[in-house]
Amino acid sequence: MRSPLTLGKSRIEALSDGVFAIAMTLLVLKLEVPEVMHHSSNEAMLQQLLAMGPAFATYVVTFLIAGGFWFLQHLTYHFVRHTTGVFIWITLLFLMLVALLPFSAGLMGHLLIHPVSQLFYFANQLAIALLLNAQWLYARRKGLLDADDPDQIERLTFRIAGTAAVFAACLIIAAFLPFWSWTPIPVFLAAAAIVEARK
């Protein structure tokens, strides 16, 4: 059996940065400029902007979640020395789900508290988190990592697994209490901050 081809990581990083940049920027296309007239009063126009509240909230939250996934992927690639075909295909599946975010966010911005839009949205986030874990596990098992900082690698393993756990929790809560589905995210961030500060 031939030895597998060893590939650099610069191109898959460039494709990832491109897909993330576009998916994050396309979110803004879900914010439609309100149809107002030139003679609209300031009050009427402000009301229209305020009515876009759920869409703005979805934009901000989705952009920051996507930024978080980009940051975690950036961290995993920081430790990866080189890539292989399988590793790149896991990343392509990961990017396919990242590129779906503008659709999930559009559904959510349209119907913020509806159970179906929440389930779709958090299932998308959970699938992204699971593929990030799959990619990280694969890289660790196949020895693709620079192993000279085991402490940081351990820490990243917990952060990635924790992210998947959080979105699984959001998904479960969304099925029963859609209004409270967001709560695991700030709880996790606060807990992570406390753990970090203690060390």
Is the Cβ–Cβ distance between 104 and 40 less than 8 Å? Answer: no
Q: Does 155 bind a copy of itself (CB under 8 A)?
A: yes
Here's the x/- map for a copy of itself, 55-94, by CB under 8 A: it reads as ----xx--xx--x--xx--xx-xx------x--xx--x--
Comparing CA positions, the residue from 55, 81, 53 lying closest to residue 146 is 81
Rounded to the nearest 5°, which phi and psi values hold at 186?
-65, -35
Q: Tokens for 182?
A: 């967001």
Q: Does 120 bind a copy of itself (CB under 8 A)?
A: yes
Q: Which is nearer to a copy of itself, 13 or 138 (CB)?
A: 13
Position of tokens 């694969």?
Answer: 138
Rounded to the nearest 5°, which phi and psi values hold at 83?
-120, 170
CB of 17 to a copy of itself, least distance (A): 4
85-98 vs 10-26: helix crossing angle, rounded to 10: 10
- Give the C-alpha distances (Å, rounded to integers) separating 129 from 33, 39, 72, 194: 32, 48, 10, 22
Q: Does 111 bind a copy of itself (CB under 8 A)?
A: yes
Q: Which is nearer to a copy of itself, 147 or 152 (CB)?
A: 152
CB of 45 to a copy of itself, least distance (A): 4
Q: Does 7 bind a copy of itself (CB under 8 A)?
A: yes
Q: Does 124 bind a copy of itself (CB under 8 A)?
A: no
Work out the burial of residue 23: count CB atoms within 10 Å of its CB; fewer than 13 is exposed, 13-18 middle, 19 or more buried. buried
Q: Summarize as ranges the residues that interact with a copy of itself (CB under 8 A).
A: 1-2, 5, 7-8, 11-15, 17-31, 33-34, 36, 38, 40, 42, 45-46, 49, 59-60, 63-64, 67, 70-71, 74-75, 77-78, 85, 88-89, 92, 95-96, 99-100, 102-103, 106-107, 110-111, 114-117, 120, 151-152, 155, 197, 199
